[in-house]
Amino acid sequence: TRTSVGRLFIGGIIPGLLMGTSLMILVYIMALRSPDDFPVRPAPTAKNIWISFKGAFFPLWAPVIILGGILWGIVTPTEAGVLAVIYAFLLGALYRKVNLIEFKQSLIDTSKQIGAVMFILAGARIFGYVMTIQRVPDLFTAWMTGFTQNRTVVLLLVNIALLFLGMFMNSSTILILTIPILQPLLSSYGVNMVHFGVVMTLNVMIGMLTPPLGVTLYISSDIAGVPFEKIIPHIIPFYIPLLIVLFLITYIPQLVLWLPDLLMP
């Protein structure tokens, strides 16, 4: 879509803050209703805060490198990611958290993941080429504009479709397969692509938290050592604030666009 990655990156800040705040409010309400499920810990002392700050000082520079490099125009988003990886590796070596064997294994694991993504990208290029030849995006846009001229309805239908796909597919596949179809459609309705990119990302994220095949749920289940079926009832309340934020950023575009327009006009 030739959309600025930097603007997309910055456009996600306010939605991210909204999600974080709404989830904290939900957890606070849940703690008030079921205090036994939320044990209270003593407040950290100034000494503990200082020790934690010293331990986290250098690692916290990684997001500064990414954000600062992009905002100040020093590096592209891809180059910022590379710098952050190099910085993280240097920190691992400095703190002696990574040895040569672990470094070698991380390279192997990364290569496998990149290889899988490259196969997806290759298939998506073929898929996109076939759709272009068959004029699928144009036909779909013509059908949708004939179905409704209401942008609100179109955005609602797109949200529902993306949430549904997120329940069964991983994020990379969804983004690669749907963007060639949705980009011309939403452009015809005057939807800003930075706005749509952030909305789409949140849609996919929520979908991947949703049964029956929400990938993130399975990963969380494996990390926590809790059976998948026991997680589902407890995660339902968290959909409410996430869907509220999705609704807000879908129909109030300035929640996404204000910061990119301010910092990267």
Indicate whether 156 belongs to any domain: yes
Contacts (Cβ under 8 Å, ≥6 apart) of 152: 251
Main-chain phi, psi angles of 247, to 5 degrees:
-60, -45
Indicate whether 180 belongs to any domain: yes
Indicate whether 204 belongs to any domain: yes
Indicate whether 225 belongs to any domain: yes
Question: Residue 87: helix, strand or coil by DSSP?
Answer: helix
What average pLDDT does the segment 74-84 reach? 81
Q: Are 111 and 154 in contact (CB under 8 A)?
A: no
Indicate whether 96 belongs to any domain: no
Q: Which domain range does residue 162 map to?
A: 135-265
Three-state SS for 29-56 is: HHHHHCHHHCCCCCCCCHHHHHHHHHHH
Mean residue pLDDT across the chain: 83
Taking only the tens place, the pLDDT of each residue in 194-247 is 999 999 999 988 888 887 777 777 777 777 778 877 888 888 899 999 999 999
* CA–CA gap between residue 83 and residue 77 (Å, rounded): 10
Q: Are 208 and 215 in contact (CB under 8 A)?
A: yes
> Taking the model in full, what pTM does it have?
0.75
Residue of 138 and 188 predicted with greater confidence: 188
User: Quick one: which of 176, 251, 195, 175 has its CA closest to 7?
Assistant: 195
Indicate whether 218 belongs to any domain: yes
Crossing angle (nearest 10°) for helices 228-251 and 13-33: 130
Query: Sorting pLDDT into bands at 50, 70 and 90, what band is 193?
Result: very high
**Domain count of the fold of the chain:** 1
* CA–CA gap between residue 75 and residue 99 (Å, rounded): 29
pLDDT at 120: 67
Handedness of CA 125, 126, 129, 130 (dihedral sign): negative
Indicate whether 18 belongs to any domain: no
Query: Percentage of the chain with pLDDT > 70?
Result: 95
Query: Sorting pLDDT into bands at 50, 70 and 90, what band is 124?
Result: low
Indicate whether 79 belongs to any domain: no
